[in-house]
Structure 1
Amino acid sequence: MTAIAPSLAALEDRVQHDLLTLNWRAKPWLSQRLLEGQPVIDVLIVGAGQAGLAASMALAQQGVQAVLLDRAPRDYEGPWATTARMETLRSPKELTGPALGVPSLTFRAWFEAQWGAAAWAALDKIPRLQWMDYLRWYRRVTEADVRNEHHVTAVRPRADGLVDVDVRAPAGSATWHARRVVLATGRDGLGGPQIPPFMQDVRRALWAHSSDVLDYSALAGRRVGVIGMGSSAMDSAGTALECGAASVDLIARRAAMPTVNKSKGSGVPGLTQGHHELPDEWKWRIRHYINTTQVPPPRGSTQRVSRHANAFFHFGCGVEGVHEVDGALHVATTRGTFVFDFLILATGFVIDWAQKPEFAAFASCVRIWGERFTPPPGDEDRELHDSPDLGPVFEFRECAPGACPGLDRIHCLCYPAALSHGTVSGDIPAISDGARRLASGIAGLLYREDVQQHFATLQAYAEPELLGDEWTPADTARRVLPTTT
C-alpha cells in the first residue's frame, strides 16, 4: 500500500473535522432487529459506485447505517476502471458530484491536496481513471461499509415489512434480510445492453457491445465497424484505433451529427428540485425532447477519433442486416454494404427486466409510466414508456393493489428513475441531490414504521435536566400583599 502524501493526509484530517463539526454521523436511533437470530439490515444498497456511496453517506447523516453489496472486486466498482473507455469525464471539472455539500469531500479538494491549485487551474477535464481513484478515496474516508464480490442473485419483497436478498459471496451463499433495499445499479440498472434485432443470428465471437469487457488490443490490424455515433461510439472507436485497428468505420442512421447537448440546457437547480412535482405532461415532454434531439458526443472524444486517417464517419446509413461471409461480417445499410472483421454496437441500454433475473420476483408487478400516462400522438417513447413510475422516495409502485406486498420497500436510485425524479440518480451533476432526497425520505419512512416504539421511548425518557438543587423555594407570603379581611 502506497504512503499517503502529507498534504492528502492533512485533507483527510480536515474531512474528519468537517464531519465532526457537522455532526455528520448522527447517533443511531433505530433498534436492531433480528429474524431467526440473523440481524436485519436497516438499508441494504445494491451497488457501491458513486450513487451507492453517496446514498450511504447521506443516510449516515440521518443516523441510518447502510451496508453496500457490490459484485466487483474492491476498487473496481462501477464502470470507470473496467468498461468505460473515455479519456476524461464528460462533466465539467467544477461539479461537486457525491460531496453532499462538504467542501473537503470534493474532487477539487482531493486533487489540489496532491497537485496544487495551479495544476487544478490547468486541468481541462477530469481523467477517467483519476475519478476512479477519487471514488476509492471517498469510500475510505467516509468509512462506507462495502462488501465486495457479493453477487445479488434474488431480491424478494415480503408482506411483513422486510425484503429478502439472496447473495452469493466468496464465503458462500446466504439470504440477507433488510427493511429497505436501494438499487444503485447504474445506467443499465433495470436492464442491459440494447441489442438490435439484426444481430440475432450473428456469431457472438464477431461482435461486442460497447459496455462489454473487451480486450481492444485483439483488434489490432482488423477492420472494425462501430454502430452508433454517440459518446460510447467515440470512446470505443478511439480505443480501437489507438490499439492498432486497420480501420474504423462509424455507422449512424441519423442524417447528421447533432451539435448541441440539449440536456445541459435543463441542468438548473429548479429542475433538479422540482422535476418530481411537475405534471406528468411536462415530465414526459422534457425527457422526450432530450431523447429525440439526441446528445452529441463530446468535442474531445470526437477529435480523439478524427485525428486518425483510418477513421471514417458515415451518416444516413440505416442498418438493414448483418451476415457472416467467410469469417467476415457484411453489414448491409441503406447506402451500401460494409465488410468488417469485428463489429462494436454502441447502441445504448434498454429497460429490460429479462436481463436482470435477480429481480424476477417483483419485475412483473412494477407499475411503469406506460400504465400511468398516454403521450400525445407523435411523442411516443419506448424508454419513457418502460420507465418505472416511482414514488417520492424513489420507491417502486405496484401495477395493481396487492400485486406484490412490500414492493415499495425497494428504491430505484439508478438511471431509469429519470422520468419520475429527473437526472438525480446516477449522473455526476446532481447525484448529491438524489442521495439526500433518498436518505431523508427513508429516514422518515423508518420513523413512521416504528412510531409506536419511538413514542414509548419518549414516554420512558427520564434523564433529568434539573437536579432540584438549582433553586430555593421562596416564602411566597412575604412577597405578596397582605391578605385583607
Structure 2
Amino acid sequence: MSQTISPAHSGGLAALEARLREDLAWLELPAPAWVPPRFAENERVLDVAIIGAGMAGLTAAAELRMLGIEHIQLFDQANAGHEGPWVSYARMNTLRSPKQLTGPALRFPALTFRAWYEAQFGREQWEALNKIPRTQWMDYLRWYRKVLALPVVNDTHLVRLQPREDGLLTLELRTSGDAQTRTVLARHVVLATGREGLGGAYVPPVARHLPAHRHAHSSDAIDFDALRGRRVGVVGASASAFDNAACALEAGAARVDMFIRRSELPRINKLTGIGSPGLVHGFMHLPDAWKWRFLHYSAQSQTPPPRDSVLRVTRHENAYLHLGSPIDHAAAHADGLVIDTPKGRYELDYLIFATGFHSEIDTRDEFAAIAPHVRRWRDRFDPGTELDNEELATSPDLDSRFAFQERVPGACPALARIHCFNHAASLSHGKVAGDIPAISDGAQRLARAIASMLFDADRESHYAALQAFDKAELAGDEWTDADAPSVIDES
C-alpha cells in the first residue's frame, strides 16, 4: 500500500535529513574511528562483517558506526531494497506492531518512522493512520539505509564461515550470477539472519513426501495467481497462516480450508502484557530456569493472530476454519492431494504450511565448520518433562555478548567472536534481536559488547598510543615556582 506525497510536504525529507545531521553533529556522532586497522594477506580485515541487511542488520551496523567502528560491511542475498521479509514472504497488509513504536531509531527522534512519515504526509495523516502499511515500512528501511550511508553488498550469500588459527574469521561469499566464490576476512561476524535464524523453515514430517509443486512453506515464494479456482489448504493458526489464506482467497481460490491443531484460537498475547524496559533489560539476567519458564509459557499460550488478519479471511464465504484438526495423513494422487484429520477427509489442489521455523544450526551448510562446537541449551539445561520444549532446547546458549559458546571448552575459541543477533537469541537475551519493539536496545547491547572486545583485543596498541601521545596542554610559561631561587641581575 502506498500513499501520494502531499505537495505541502514535498521538501520534508530533505529538511528531516538536515535535522538528523545536526542532531548527530551536536552529539558528536558518529564517534571518530578508533579501531587500529588490521591486515592479513595484504588485505584490510573487516572489524565486523554482518550477514543480513534487514532491520536487525541495519540497526546493528548503525550503532557500530555511532561507536566509531567504521570498517564494517553488511552482506545480504536479496536484491537492494528487498532485504528481510517485508516485500518477500510477509503477506499482511499492515504491520502488527503499534505505529508509535520507535523500532530501529536508536533513540534519535529524527530517525523514527513517525518523523519519516510526517515529513512526507503531515501530522494529520499520521494521526489518521491506524497501522503502518507493510510495504511502506520497507520504504522507511530503504531510507534508513540511505540516510545513514550503511555499507551493504547485495545479491551475495554466505557459502561458508570458517575460523582461522590466527583468530580471524573467513567468510566465503558468492554473488548471484558468479560461478566463483570470494573470501573476506573479519575479526567479528554478526549473524543478523532474522526469523529464519540459524536453521530454516519447519515443515512437519507429513509433508516431506508430497510433490514439490503441490505444497509450500509460508516463507516460500508462492504464485497466488496460479491458485485461482483451486482448492487450497493452510496448516496453522499463526498470523502468517491467516495472511497466506487471505492471499489465496483474494487471488480467487475456489475454497480455502485452514487446519488448526488447537480446539480454540489463542486470544491473548501474553508477552505484550508484561512489555516494559524491565523485560527488555532484565530478561538476560534472569536465572536459566526462569528464562525457560517465561518463554515456554509464552510458546504454549501462543501468540494470537491479529483481529484484522482473521477478519481478512473470515469475510470470505469460501473460507473454512477447522479447529481441533491436526493433519494425520497427507497423500498425493493424479489430481491433487488428500488430507486426513480427526474431523474428516479433504481433497485439495495445494497445501501451505504456516508452521514456523527451526533453529537447528546443523542443517545449514554454511555453518558446518562451527555447528559441531556450538553449545545449545539442551547441552547443559534440563527443564524437566513438564516444561519440555524442543524449540527452546535447540536454541544456542549465548553469552552476554550474543556470542556462541563452546560445547567443549577450547575446541573452537573463535565462537566468542561470532554473534547470533537473530530470533535464535531469544532464550538467552529475550526478544531484542528481531522484533520491532526492542531492536534498538538489542543493537546497542551488541555493539557495545563488540566495542569492548575490540578494545581489549588491541589493548597493547592502545597502551602504546597512550605512551606515545605528546600533545601538551600547557606550554610551561603559565606559572612561576614560588620556591625557586631568585635570579640576581648582576648587571
Name the TM-score, length of structure 2 as normaliser.
0.95
Q: Matched residues in 2 for 1:147 and 1:266: separation?
A: 38
By how many angstroms is 1:149 displaced? 1.1
- Give 1:141-152 correspondences, 5 Å limit: 141-152=147-158
Q: Does 1:8 align with 2:28?
A: no
By how many angstroms is 1:5 displaced? 3.0
Q: Does 1:293 align with 2:311?
A: no
Q: Matched residues in 2 for 1:435 and 1:471: separation?
A: 49
Match of 1:154 among 136, 152, 160: 160
Name the TM-score, length of structure 1 as normaliser.
0.96
Cα deviation per residue 1:147-197 (whole Å; 9 max; x = unaligned)?
111111001122322111101125652111000000000001111111111
SS of the residue 1:378 aligns to: helix
By how many angstroms is 1:302 displaced? 0.6
What amino acid maps onto 2:154 in structure 1?
N
- Paired position in structure 2 for 1:356: 364
- Paired position in structure 2 for 1:481: none
By how many angstroms is 1:472 displaced? 4.8
- Give 1:270-309 correspondences, 5 Å limit: 270-309=278-317
Match of 2:467 among 459, 467, 473: 459
By how many angstroms is 1:474 displaced? 5.1
- Paired position in structure 2 for 1:86: 92
What amino acid maps onto 2:112 in structure 1?
T
Q: Does 1:29 align with 2:29?
A: no
What amino acid maps onto 1:163 in structure 2?
L
- Paired position in structure 1 for 2:385: 377
What amino acid maps onto 2:150 in structure 1?
A
What amino acid maps onto 1:28 in structure 2?
A
- Give 1:153-192 correspondences, 5 Å limit: 153-169=159-175, 172-192=180-200
What amino acid maps onto 2:419 in structure 1?
H
Q: Matched residues in 1 for 2:271 and 2:327: separation?
A: 27
Q: Which moved more, 1:255-264 or 1:97-106?
A: 255-264
Cα deviation per residue 1:51-100 (whole Å; 9 max; x = unaligned)?
00000111112111221011111101111011110100010111000000
- Paired position in structure 2 for 1:133: 139
Q: Matched residues in 2 for 1:182 and 1:169: separation?
A: 19
Q: Does 1:45 align with 2:79?
A: no
Q: Matched residues in 2 for 1:297 and 1:306: separation?
A: 13
Match of 2:61 among 56, 59, 63: 56
By how many angstroms is 1:438 displaced? 0.3
What amino acid maps onto 1:273 in structure 2?
H
> Are the equivalent residues in 2 in contact too, given 1:88–1:125 (CA < 8 A)?
yes
> Are the equivalent residues in 2 in contact too, given 1:44–1:67 (CA < 8 A)?
yes
Q: Matched residues in 1 for 2:385 and 2:153: separation?
A: 47
Structure 1's unaligned 5+ residue stretches are: 479-485
Cα deviation per residue 1:342-396 (whole Å; 9 max; x = unaligned)?
0000111111224421111101110000112110321100111000000000000
SS of the residue 2:61 aligns to: helix
Cα deviation per residue 1:181-222 (whole Å; 9 max; x = unaligned)?
000000011111111111121101000100001111111110
- Give 1:195-274 correspondences, 5 Å limit: 195-274=203-282
> Are the equivalent residues in 2 in contact too, given 1:388–1:396 (CA < 8 A)?
yes
Q: Does 1:71 align with 2:77?
A: yes
Q: Matched residues in 1 for 2:340 and 2:333: separation?
A: 12
Q: Matched residues in 1 for 2:385 and 2:342: separation?
A: 27
Q: Matched residues in 1 for 2:23 and 2:347: separation?
A: 59
Q: Matched residues in 2 for 1:309 and 1:74: separation?
A: 39
- Give 1:104-115 correspondences, 5 Å limit: 104-115=110-121
What amino acid maps onto 1:29 in structure 2?
W
- Give 1:364-403 correspondences, 5 Å limit: 364-403=372-411
- Paired position in structure 2 for 1:444: 452
Sequence identity of aligned pairs in percent?
Answer: 50
Cα deviation per residue 1:3-42 (whole Å; 9 max; x = unaligned)?
9931111001111111111122111111111111011000
- Paired position in structure 1 for 2:109: 103
Q: Which moved more, 1:436-445 or 1:256-265?
A: 256-265
SS of the residue 2:309 aligns to: helix
Q: Matched residues in 2 for 1:205 and 1:353: separation?
A: 27
What amino acid maps onto 2:202 in structure 1?
Q
Q: Matched residues in 2 for 1:159 and 1:369: separation?
A: 27
Match of 2:355 among 347, 352, 372: 347
> Are the equivalent residues in 2 in contact too, given 1:159–1:405 (CA < 8 A)?
no
Cα deviation per residue 1:370-429 (whole Å; 9 max; x = unaligned)?
112110321100111000000000000000112223111100000010000000000000
> Are the equivalent residues in 2 in contact too, given 1:185–1:413 (CA < 8 A)?
yes
Q: Matched residues in 1 for 2:88 and 2:101: separation?
A: 23
- Paired position in structure 1 for 2:489: none
Q: Matched residues in 2 for 1:409 and 1:143: separation?
A: 25
Q: Matched residues in 1 for 2:129 and 2:94: separation?
A: 11
Q: Matched residues in 1 for 2:64 and 2:165: separation?
A: 24
What amino acid maps onto 1:74 in structure 2?
A
> Are the equivalent residues in 2 in contact too, given 1:83–1:211 (CA < 8 A)?
yes
What amino acid maps onto 2:93 in structure 1?
E
Q: Matched residues in 1 for 2:10 and 2:169: separation?
A: 43
- Paired position in structure 1 for 2:421: 413
Structure 2's unaligned 5+ residue stretches are: 487-491
